[in-house]
Amino acid sequence: MNSINSTRISKFEEALNQALPIDTLHIEDESHLHAGHAGAEGGAGHFRIHIQSPAFKGLNRVQQHRLVYDALSAWIPYEIHALAIITN
């Protein structure tokens, strides 16, 4: 992971922790898997988020993902090009 994406991940973690009560959170930088991809040319990254939150209870997957996207909306699409979300 490069230092830019390491800094980004720290910001994403902070934003998610402010927006949601979190039991577990792990963010992976998958940008290296997409080198040369048109969407990555501007410097935006590809990330995979594993997150568990009591806020997800009773919500369907789309509603859970919406909470995550809302918390990270300030960085989409300029710092986050692609986001995979796993809510177990």
pLDDT digit string, tens, across residues 23-70: 999 999 998 776 665 555 566 888 999 999 999 999 999 999 999 999
CATH homologous superfamily of 3-86 equals BolA-like (3.30.300.90)
Distance separating alpha carbons of residues 15 and 18, to the nearest angstrom = 5
> Reduced to 3 states, what is the DSSP secondary structure of residue 74?
helix
Distance separating alpha carbons of residues 69 and 51, to the nearest angstrom = 12
Rounded to two decimals, the pTM is 0.86
The pLDDT score that the predictor gives to residue 38 is: 59
The pLDDT score that the predictor gives to residue 69 is: 97
